[in-house]
């Protein structure tokens, strides 16, 4: 099964994709994670995209589509959750070709509908355990014991450099200008489902599950 999770930054795509990976053995393809790994490792791609990512703008279509292509021939050969990709019309068309070349197709595009004003608040307070990746929030979900991860006990946490208010606003406007307009492309295929991304995490997971289990 190949599905796209679509929605602005902070809509919960990454959280839901990680749950699907854990619970259903699906493979999460997050171009944001791949790019952050490239920046951390200092690869040529990482050096090229670092400043663009810090500004909250989109990196080139060719770079992200190449990253996706590599994974479709690797660990995601049997299906994928596209998280943060495609983000432009050109990427949607590239994905179409990448899948078609492999005799594959999209099953669902799930749009997480959210309230933008609340998103800035959600994104600017989030941080994760540096060890196990568990997500926390300054205002909504602090570790039970201050400074210690509830899950693995690590005392190291990290924040994304692009999760500040100004960059989040740029990321939102990039979403509005370039990503939301690709929805009609998928609507024409009759595969778009919309769910309320402001609902509690478990409710969102339940709705995604019922879409996937309908097949
Ligand atoms: P994300 O983790 O999905 O929020 O992505 C973080 C940043 O990585 C974005 O603000 C962009 O700079 C870059 N990025 C991630 N995915 C894409 C994509 N599909 N197209 C262009 N830029 C991307």
pLDDT tens, residue by residue, 112-157: 999 988 899 999 999 999 999 999 999 999 999 999 999 999 999 9
The count of other CB atoms within 10 Å of the CB of residue 173 is 14
Task: Report the candidate in 84, 157, 173, 83 with the shortest Cα–Cα distance to residue 120.
Answer: 173
pLDDT tens, residue by residue, 203-213: 999 999 999 99
53 CA to middle of ligand 1, Å? 7
Tokens 């080139």 appear where? 60
Measure Cα distances from 190 to 8, 9, 147 in Å.
Answer: 21, 24, 47
Could you tell me the pLDDT band of residue 173, with boundaries at 50, 70 and 90? very high
pLDDT tens, residue by residue, 50-102: 999 999 999 999 999 999 999 999 999 888 999 999 999 999 999 999 999 99
Task: Report the candidate in 66, 85, 88, 79 with the shortest Cα–Cα distance to residue 106.
Answer: 79
145 CA to middle of ligand 1, Å? 33
User: Is 171 tagged catalytic?
Assistant: yes
Which atom of ligand 1 lies nearest, measured to the CA of 60? 21
User: Is 40 tagged catalytic?
Assistant: no
Which of these is catalytic: 104, 141, 160, 194?
160
pLDDT tens, residue by residue, 3-50: 999 999 999 999 999 999 999 989 999 999 999 999 999 999 999 999
Q: Is the CB of 87 under 6 A from ligand 1?
A: yes
The widest CA-to-CA distance across the chain, in whole angstroms, is 50
For residues 155-161, average pLDDT: 96
For residues 151-178, average pLDDT: 95
Nearest-angstrom CA–CA distance, 42 and 6: 28
Token pair for 164: 């500040």
pTM, full prediction: 0.93
pLDDT tens, residue by residue, 87-97: 999 999 999 99
């Amino acid at each position: 099964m190949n599905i796209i999770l679509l929605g602005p930054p902070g809509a919960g795509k990454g959280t839901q994709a990680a749950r699907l990976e854990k619970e259903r053995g699906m493979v999460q393809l997050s171009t944001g994670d791949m790019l952050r790994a490239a920046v951390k490792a200092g690869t040529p791609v990482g050096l090229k995209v670092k400043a663009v990512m810090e500004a909250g703008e989109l990196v080139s279509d060719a770079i992200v589509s190449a990253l996706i292509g590599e994974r479709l021939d690797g660990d995601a050969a049997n299906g994928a959750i596209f998280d943060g990709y495609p983000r432009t019309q050109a990427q949607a068309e590239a994905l179409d070709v990448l899948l078609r070349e492999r005799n594959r197709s999209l099953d669902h595009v799930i749009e997480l509908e959210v309230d933008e004003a609340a998103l800035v608040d959600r994104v600017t307070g989030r941080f994760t355990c540096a060890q196990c990746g568990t997500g926390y929030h300054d205002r909504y979900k602090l570790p039970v014991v201050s400074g210690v991860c509830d899950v693995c006990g690590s005392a190291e946490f990290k924040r994304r450099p692009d999760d500040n208010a100004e960059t989040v606003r740029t990321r939102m406007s990039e979403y509005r200008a370039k990503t939301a307009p690709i929805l009609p492309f998928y609507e024409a295929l009759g595969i778009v489902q919309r769910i309320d991304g402001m609902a509690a995490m478990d409710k969102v997971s339940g709705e995604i599950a019922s879409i996937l289990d309908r097949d």
